[in-house]
Amino acid sequence: MSQRALIAGDFLSLLDEHKLPPFRHELSGAAPVQTQATTVFAFHFADGILMAGDRRATAGNVIVTDRVDKVIEIDATSLLAIAGVPATAFEMARVLQTSFEYYRRSQLQALSLPAKVRALARLLRDNLPMTMQGIGVVVPLFAGLDHSTSPASPRVYFYDPLGAQFQAVGYAASGSGSGTIRSILSFQEQHGKPRPSQMNLSQAVQFALRLLMTASEFDSATGGVNPATETFATLKVLKSTGVETISEEQQKQFLKS
């Protein structure tokens, strides 16, 4: 093991030194139609950040599955929401999980939020050859706790496919249904009562589920939510105390209340 990578606690540098890049960039002329995952979004509510995603994946005009989990817990204080090609996005999530855990174990402390944000940006930048070829494109969202404040403050970031990162003040969305969702979030934040940032957990979950229901009416690639068929979303909440998952049973109860 490289002494430099060990001292730095940088798992990605360790991969580079052993010529083991996390992604391969070869393009085959017989490449199949790509599977795409949409739609994801996140917004601040009174207790933290709610990150949500529908569960549909498509390949062209074909629905591949309605059981994809697009919001992934990277560690106890970090969430990743994927929009784009799941194969690439899931690999990014696995690399991040390993990298954060490698740093924590080797340095005996957790990676800072700015370093986590840059780690995802680096993976997106390393994926640039596939992005430029039009394959393997990923446009994720990332949420984490900023421990420089007391108590720790949840932050949410969005990215472009080339790796540029931006902090979202109130909300962010990505994927084919994101236009509808951003429009509703913008209206609700400016004119709604309560505003998303003022909602309690029950109100935030109801609002998120209804956002997906609305997005699915205008975008066939968004699976939406349908309690009648037991089709719900992936919902996770990031608070100052860490990550919590909103189960399908809880979602059903929140919709009824």
- Beta strand 78-81 with 165-168 is unpaired
Q: What's the rounded mean pLDDT across residues 212-226?
A: 93
In a domain, 100, yes or no: yes
Q: How many C-beta atoms lie closer than 10 Å to residue 183's C-beta?
A: 13
Q: What was the pLDDT predicted at 15?
A: 66
Rg (CA), the chain: 18
In a domain, 13, yes or no: no
Cα separation, 145 vs 153, in Å, equals 5
Record the tokens describing residue 32, joined without a space: 């199949």
Query: Which pTM value belongs to this model?
Result: 0.87
Question: pLDDT band at 36, cuts 50/70/90?
Answer: confident
Say which CATH number the domain at 70 has: 3.60.20.10
Give φ, ψ of 83 to 5 degrees. Answer: -135, 130
Q: Which residues are catalytic?
A: 38
DSSP string, 215-237: HHHH-TT----BGGGTB--EEEE
Question: pLDDT band at 6, cuts 50/70/90?
Answer: very low
Q: Is the peptide bond before 22 cis (omega within 30 degrees of 0)?
A: no
Query: Is the predicted pLDDT of residue 154 greater than 70, yes or no?
Result: yes
Question: pLDDT band at 133, cuts 50/70/90?
Answer: confident
With the C-alpha atoms ordered 226, 232, 233, 238, is the resulting torsion angle positive or negative?
positive
Q: What was the pLDDT predicted at 51?
A: 98
Quick check: 157 and 138 in contact, CB under 8 A?
Answer: no
Q: Give the rounded percent of residues in the chain with a pLDDT score beyond 90.
A: 72
Quick check: 120 and 155 in contact, CB under 8 A?
Answer: no
Q: What was the pLDDT predicted at 24?
A: 55
Q: What's the rounded mean pLDDT across residues 90-105?
A: 96
In a domain, 6, yes or no: no
Among 143, 129, 10, 16, smallest CA distance to 74 is for: 143
In a domain, 242, yes or no: yes
Total domains present in the chain: 1
Average pLDDT, rounded, for the chain? 89
Range of the domain at 133: 36-256
- Beta strand 153-159 with 165-168 is antiparallel
Residue 178 Cα distances to 54, 195, 234, angstroms: 11, 19, 16
Q: What's the rounded mean pLDDT across residues 143-156?
A: 94
In a domain, 16, yes or no: no
In a domain, 4, yes or no: no
Residue 222 Cα distances to 22, 51, 154, 199, angstroms: 29, 16, 27, 24
Residue 208 Cα distances to 45, 95, 120, angstroms: 11, 29, 25
The residue whose two tokens read 């979602």 is 251
Q: What's the rounded mean pLDDT across residues 26-51?
A: 78
Q: What was the pLDDT predicted at 1?
A: 46
Predicted confidence (pLDDT) per residue in 43-72, tens digit = 999 999 999 999 999 988 898 889 999 999
In a domain, 7, yes or no: no
Cα separation, 64 vs 95, in Å, equals 25
Query: Is the predicted pLDDT of residue 30 greater than 50, yes or no?
Result: no
In a domain, 24, yes or no: no
> Does residue 22 or residue 85 have the better pLDDT?
85
Predicted confidence (pLDDT) per residue in 105-131, tens digit = 999 999 999 999 999 999 999 998 888
Q: Which segment of 1-5, 16-20, 143-147, 153-157 scores lowest on mean pLDDT?
A: 1-5
Question: pLDDT band at 233, cuts 50/70/90?
Answer: very high
End-to-end CA distance of the chain: 55
